[in-house]
Structure 1
Amino acid sequence: MKILVVDDDALVCKSLKVLLSREKDMEVIGTANNGAEAITACRTELPNVVLMDIQMPVMDGIRATRQIKLDWPEVHVMMLTTFKDEKNIRLALLAGAAGYLIKSIEVTSMAQQIRALMSGSRVLDADVLKQLTEPTNREELEQLTPREKDIAGLVAEGLSNREIADQLYISEGTVRNTLSVILEKLQLRDRTQLAIYYLKNNNI
């Protein structure tokens, strides 16, 4: 399989290229130092897997992942970073990353995870999985106004925008606009994710 390594640390790129190239079924076809270079490399080399850092100059890894998955949906993106906070994890997965590993992982384990990624599995570091399954921080929930909480609860009950508008005596346009604000605040993609989020934290 063809692998592209994306990291603004030249030493990381060089080390991963040497170490992963020792795997018989892997070929590091290139490296990039930021998200923009990664997109260019995908255009010219079309790798099977992109190992993507998050914080980089010019274009960060999350923006680059979103663009790569839009242009080349068949490319598998594995985030490889030092960040393991829930915000970055969620943004990366929403952007289209199918894997999220922490840089402290051993290369042998990384190779195994890359193979799992290629087979269609979602690959998450143990610390990352813990972040996603633990209850959400109350500070994040308290970002919502009382009206936003009401709408989130009704979405979780399966009501449509029209039904929510009728129940709360507001316009359907207000519901739609408020829902967009809620999704932005909680960094969720759609009402389905909002419903799951609400049910997971049902005292919102």
Structure 2
Amino acid sequence: MTRARIRVLIVDDQELLRRGLRMILETDDGIEVVGEAEHGLRGLALIPELAPDVVLADARMPTLDGLGLVRRCAADHPGLPVLVLTTFDDARLVRALLDAGAAGFLLKDVSTDALSAAIRQVVDGGLVLDPRVARSALAPPPRPRDPGLTDAERSVADLVARGLPNAEIAARLHLAHGTVKNTVSALLRKLDQPDRTALALRLARELPEDDA
């Protein structure tokens, strides 16, 4: 059965950029732009009507900015990923967006193929972070405590930290999808994290590099 096209809502205060993004994304047969909004409040108003699979939003906008939009979506539309696309690469802004529940952060000069791939990844439950800002945004704190994970949990945790969705983790580790899902749930409980994004951020900061 053919998979339905991914429904995207674009939220950006610049009309020219919205139109440009629409034209770029609609060259992908698997993506459909279902609407545009000039700021976060308008975007929130359109979500119930348009039922997007993902929101592609600017970080800096009038009325309600990207951070406010991410927070409101997390509260009012849990499970709807918001992928932030912006010219700003401020590490503190990236941290705030991700802590608020953003599904990812990309700079606006990202390639067309990378943008389409990022949209698919966040819809599948992954976390996307432009590598040019990842290092500063995920700079590790002082030496953390060992979270006390089992070897099996660490194998899954390493791939969660890289932003991979459950299906890809299962394929890489030759595990059943249900096993991966249960392990992620166990990691959320063990590390006392509220959601997958927070879990991925903590694991990216705390897992030693040789745990891969």
Question: Counterpart in 1 of 2:100?
Answer: 95
Q: Distance in 2 between matches of 1:5 and 1:65?
A: 13
Question: Counterpart in 2 of 1:77?
Answer: 82
**Residue 50 of structure 1: which of 55, 61, 68 is its match?**
55
The number of residue pairs the alignment matches comes to 150
- Cα offset, 1:68, TM superposition: 1.0
* Cα root mean square deviation, aligned: 2.9
Asked if structure 1 preserves the Cα contact closer than 8 Å seen for 2:92 and 2:137, the reply is no
Asked if structure 1 preserves the Cα contact closer than 8 Å seen for 2:11 and 2:40, the reply is yes
Q: Distance in 2 between matches of 1:108 and 1:81?
A: 17
What pairs with 1:118-197 in structure 2 (closer than 5 Å)? Answer: 118-134=123-139
**Residue 31 of structure 2: which of 26, 30, 34 is its match?**
26
Asked if structure 2 preserves the Cα contact closer than 8 Å seen for 1:20 and 1:111, the reply is yes
Asked if structure 2 preserves the Cα contact closer than 8 Å seen for 1:42 and 1:68, the reply is no
Question: Counterpart in 2 of 1:145?
Answer: none
- Cα offset, 1:120, TM superposition: 1.4
Would you say 1:106 and 2:111 are equivalent positions? yes
Question: Counterpart in 2 of 1:15?
Answer: 20
Gapped runs of 5+ residues in structure 2? 1-5, 146-192, 207-212
**Residue 43 of structure 2: which of 10, 13, 38 is its match?**
38
Q: Distance in 2 between matches of 1:72 and 1:135?
A: 30
Q: Distance in 1 between matches of 2:133 and 2:102?
A: 13
Matched to 2:85, the amino acid is L
- Cα offset, 1:134, TM superposition: 3.7
Q: Distance in 2 between matches of 1:65 and 1:110?
A: 19
Q: Distance in 2 between matches of 1:99 and 1:132?
A: 12
Q: Distance in 2 between matches of 1:105 and 1:85?
A: 16
Q: Distance in 2 between matches of 1:105 and 1:67?
A: 26
Q: Percent identity?
A: 33
Q: For 1:41-85, what per-residue CA distance to the aligned partner results, in whole angstroms no more than 9, with x for missing partners?
A: 112112101011111111111011110121111211101011111
Would you say 1:117 and 2:128 are equivalent positions? no
Q: Distance in 1 between matches of 2:8 and 2:138?
A: 30
Gapped runs of 5+ residues in structure 1? 137-155, 157-188
**Residue 66 of structure 2: which of 24, 46, 61 is its match?**
61
TM-score if structure 1 supplies the norm length? 0.66
The alignment partner of 1:22 has SS state of coil
- Cα offset, 1:135, TM superposition: 5.9
Q: Which runs of 4+ in 1 moved over 4 A?
A: none
The alignment partner of 1:110 has SS state of helix
